Amino acid sequence: MKKTLSIILVPHDDSRTRQYQLSYRLLYTFLVLTGIALLVISIFIVTYGSVLRHSKRAANLESQNQRLLRQSAQVDSLRGELVRLQAMSIQIKKMLGINLTPEDSILVASLSPIVKSPAIQEFQEEEGVGEEEQKAMLKAFPTLWPVKGYVTRGFHTTGGEKSADYHPGIDIAARRNTPIRASAEGIVVTDAWDDTYGYMVVIDHGFGIYTLYGHNARNLVKNGDRVARGQIIAFVGNTGKSTAPHLHFEIRENGVPKDPNNYLLD
């Protein structure tokens, strides 16, 4: 006789009792299939969780690798910029007849050719400056920081003069009466008072290049004076529209404001 399992359902109302019969073989098959299904589901959950963790770890590693690559590229760029600036400084010193330090001499031996300033290179290309004129031109380029201090406001001409952020030069904070030096040799064309810049000096360096020094406490030069590179021409002050002692410094080429950071070296 075939062994069966009876399941009887007895309702609480007056409905008739229901009876179901299951063979042990069918029940066994159901339990085995249910166990296999649960095992498969468990394996899937464990495997999926592991794959998901490895996927997140791989994504994190990829992100870190990309960040390292970007940082490496930035380091290479900074290293190249440092070499360019060092080479440019040496070039200017040689053209101006300034003695090179032992470190400069070592660097000269390792750099070939010497890199030129972008501003100088562009100027030479536009003006067609020959080799014989390079020395005079380089002397006219304002490469000397006019005062020792900290840049508190940078160059910004985007948007034009009507822009609230318009600033055709840089502001260098320094103590009152700190000496202000000519950034390059030239002739003083303005020694005057200005409502905005207070006591100011403008120097014509030739080749259409002018520098402006504003908010001075007092000027030491007069119109028509020829000044040498590094000569003291004024003292830092707080005159004109100024809230604290500082120097407003501008460089203009043919009347167009230029970013001093592209010129200043030492």
**Model-wide pTM > 0.85:** no
Mean pLDDT in residue range 223-232: 95
Q: Note the pLDDT tens digit of each residue in 126-182.
A: 545 555 566 667 777 898 999 999 999 999 998 888 888 899 999 999 999 999 999
Share of the chain above pLDDT 70, in %: 76
Mean pLDDT in residue range 212-223: 97
Domains and CATH numbers, the chain: 140-262 (2.70.70.10)
Of residues 264, 191, 176, the one with CA closest to residue 227:
191
136 within 8 A of 123, measured Cβ to Cβ: no
- pLDDT for 131: 55
Instruction: Give the Å distances, CA to CA, from 1 to 4, 7, 23, 34.
Output: 9, 18, 11, 27
| H-run or E-run covering 123 | helix 118-127
Q: What is the Cα–Cα distance from 227 to 224, expressed in whole angstroms?
A: 9
| pLDDT for 27 beyond 50 | yes
- pLDDT for 170: 95
- DSSP one-letter code for 167: B
- pLDDT for 222: 96
Instruction: Give the Å distances, CA to CA, from 93 to 82, 98, 111, 189, 259.
Output: 17, 5, 15, 26, 21
Q: 192: which strand partners?
A: 200
- pLDDT for 61: 83
- pLDDT for 115: 45
188 within 8 A of 164, measured Cβ to Cβ: no
| pLDDT for 34 beyond 70 | yes
198 within 8 A of 248, measured Cβ to Cβ: no
Q: Which of 15-29, 167-181, 237-251 has the least mean pLDDT?
A: 15-29
Share of the chain above pLDDT 90, in %: 38
Phi, psi of 143 (to 5 degrees): -110, -10
| pLDDT for 109 beyond 60 | no
Token pair listed for 19: 């009876």
| pLDDT for 102 beyond 70 | no
Quickly state the pLDDT bin for 113 (edges 50, 70, 90): very low
- pLDDT for 112: 43
Instruction: Give the Å distances, CA to CA, from 194 to 174, 188, 231, 240.
Output: 20, 16, 23, 7
Q: Which of 34-43, 51-60, 139-148 has the least mean pLDDT?
A: 51-60
Q: What is the Cα–Cα distance from 184 to 144, expressed in whole angstroms?
A: 7
Q: Which of 31-45, 54-68, 80-94, 143-157 has the least mean pLDDT?
A: 80-94
**What's CA 101's distance to the chain center, in Å?**
30
Q: What is the Cα–Cα distance from 98 to 105, expressed in whole angstroms?
A: 12
Place of tokens 């000096």: 201
252 within 8 A of 209, measured Cβ to Cβ: yes
